[in-house]
Structure 1
Amino acid sequence: MTLFRLNRLFNPRSGRALDVAVDHGFFGERSFLTGIEDMRSVVATLVEANPDAVQLTLGQARHLQSVPGRAKPALVLRTDVANVYGNPLDPHVFSHHVPHAIEEAVRLDAVAVCVNLMQLPGRPEIREACIRSITALRAEATRYGMPLMVEPLVMADNATSGGYMVDGDVDKIMTLVRQAVELGADLVKADPCDDVEEYHRVVEVAGDVPVLVRGGGRVPDGELLERTAAVLRAGASGIVYGRNVVQHPDPAGITAALMSVLHDGVAPADALATLQARTAGGDR
């Protein structure tokens, strides 16, 4: 099936995409709200910065889609909510997708929907819940021609990692990415791995399904740009960054730097120099 909506996600020059994730408030963790307390302002800043897409929830998508005109980022709609990011974990853990999520995505003019496939040590029921959500969403997504982005999330042990930490084992990531593909993902939003030079293995196991790489926690700008270039060399089709953009002192500047690496092949060092010159000159 041809998924025409993806024509609004991937940049026509490069065939790649930058999706800025601002769906963190969905998960009920206070620490996730840093930098995104005022969503109207956050979305306005991102619209001006103009990444390829912004990832939002059902309750916040209106801030993007109410902006008039065609020259704005596309909408990727988050469809599931879970309580697996706290430390300590709640005694009862869950993951549920939004009822009628695909119909909501159509009404909101989304270009894709995003759903987790989580692997949490010692909690197989969470992976089962995610699989149930994916299969339900897959059926409806096929009916409406809505691209389904599956987010395989290999999490480290909560008690030792402090919640929301990625297990960077490339073999675990490959296994979960492949399961996402087998379940019918049109796109995969995948973890980074500890050794970025191994990332080609993740792309390879996904086959012809595009892989977008998650950003994870905040890192220095130079490291972020270098890692972005490395996963692109490995064959990734784009990136999905959240905190590294919205918690940045200059969200528009880091977006421009990432877009230059992603779409124009600018070297990370040159993109960093432009970003630093912008900051020094107060151009925001």
Structure 2
Amino acid sequence: MDAYQSIGIRRRLKRFFRRDGRALIFAMDHGFEHGPTDFEEHWEHVNPRIILRKVVRAGIDGVMMLPGLARMAGDEVKPNVGMMIKLTSKTNLRPKGDQLLQSQLGFVEDAVKLGADAIAATVYWGSPQEDAMMRQFAEIASYAHDLGFPVVQFAYPRGPYINEKYGRKEDYRVVMYGARAAVESGADMIKTYWTGSRETFAKVVDAAAGIPVLLSGGAKTDNPVDFLKLVWDVIEAGGAGAVVGRNIFQREDPEPFIKALLRVVHRNEDPEEAAKAEGLL
């Protein structure tokens, strides 16, 4: 018979993933990690309540925030939408030499108090500070799992040795390694980089051995169809969906775009057809 915690982890994961095992999650940690300038193009979205209302209305499966934004605007996240609280981060104000470390800015108890359905933390695999982040993740995951909460790892390979040995940080061998490290360190969900092709991303999914792998959305694409095609490729490669920030909040009217993404993720619709259906073309 399953332990109580195992039931809790499975139930909470279902708040993000639909019956098809896929999810579209909105990310909003950019004001901390990149700075408020990320919102300058559509400044009203710097207010978390405004953008959260839009993404929830559009039908998003889940949202990811840092503890302070969840405290400020978490009541905009309706009960049918999963809420992920990320407990590690960094600012771009740090000296360059310290940019490869994520620091803890909240605790598992905080996420529980805020009503989280999942708890997230980043590990920069290959960083000179990898050891500190491994320990940080282990402590967060151990306690969260004890309480029945799933743990999401943002598995980001970054470091000087990666460039020497493998090439770009998005090289599939590096991303595959990071995904496997996430699995072996106890992640229940993985967010990571695109590797450039369906074939190589499928290897990342294989390396994750059944743990859901979601695309890290990255910088905004000028043409929305280009991003829809990228997410389509992720799904075709066996990925479980995407965690998207800038490609949503840097658009003036993100709701049709979100609805088109949901068509691609959950209905297997062709990206151009999904775009046409939502008036993007």
Determine if the TM-score, normalized by the shorter chain, exceeds 0.5: yes
Specify every segment of 5 or more residues in structure 1 that has no aligned partner in the other structure, as ranges.
Answer: 161-165
**Deviation string for 1:225-257 (max 9, x for gaps)?**
111111111111111111111112321111000
1:253-272 map, 5 Å: 253-272=256-275
Is 2:252 the counterpart of 1:252? no
Q: Percent identity?
A: 27
**Residue in structure 2 matched with residue 124 of structure 1 by the alignment:** 128
C-alpha change, 1:271 and 1:89, in structure 2 (3 Å) is: farther
The reply on whether 1:8 has 2:15 as its aligned counterpart is: yes
Which residue of structure 1 aligns with residue 218 of structure 2? 216
Alignment partner, residue 51 of structure 1 = 60
**Structure 1 residue 147 displacement after superposition:** 0.5
Aligned to 2:84: 76
Hey, what's the Cα distance between the residues in 2 that align with 1:271 and 1:108?
Answer: 35
Q: 3-state DSSP class of the match of 1:167?
A: coil
1:180-201 deviations in whole A, cap 9, x for unaligned?
A: 1111001111111123331100
Q: 1:69 to 1:262 in 2, by over 3 A?
A: closer
Which position in structure 2 is the counterpart of 1:163? none
Q: 1:108 to 1:234 in 2, by over 3 A?
A: same
Q: How many residues align?
A: 263
Please give the residue correspondences for 1:221-240 in structure 2 after superposition, counting only pairs within 5 Å.
221-240=224-243
After TM superposition, the structure 1 = structure 2 runs for residues 20-31 of structure 1, keeping only pairs within 5 Å, are: 20-27=26-33, 29-31=35-37
Matched, 1:171 2:173: yes
Instruction: Report the structure, 1 or 2, having the larger helix content.
Output: 2
State the alpha-carbon separation in 1 of the partners of residues 63 and 77 from structure 2. 16
Give, as a single letter, the amino acid of the residue that structure 2 aligns with 1:214.
S
Judged with a 3 Å threshold, the aligned counterparts in structure 2 of structure 1 residues 21 and 180 are, in CA distance, closer, same or farther, namely: same
Cα deviation, residue 30, structure 1: 4.4
Structure 2 partner of 1:108: 114
Instruction: Output the CA distance in 1 between the equivalents of 2:59 and 2:275.
Output: 19
Q: Is the partner of 1:179 in helix, strand or coil? A: helix
Contact 1:154 1:167 in 2 (8 A): yes
Q: Establish whether residue 133 from structure 1 lines up as the match of residue 136 from structure 2.
A: yes
Would the aligned equivalents of 2:23 and 2:62 in 1 still touch at CA under 8 Å?
yes
8 A Cα contact 2:49 2:76, kept in partner:
no
Partner amino acid, structure 2, of 1:267: D
Equivalent residues of 1:54, 1:74 under 8 A apart: yes
CA gap 1:194/1:28 in 2 versus in 1, 3 angstroms:
closer
- Code of the residue aligned with 1:206 in structure 2: it is A
CA distance in 2, matches of 1:89, 1:149: 27
Q: Given that residues 30 and 36 in structure 2 are in contact (C-alpha distance below 8 angstroms), is that contact kept between their aligned partners in structure 1?
A: no
Q: Distance in 2 between the 1:231 and 1:246 partners?
A: 21
Distance (whole Å) between structure 1 residues aligned to residue 158 and residue 257 of structure 2: 27
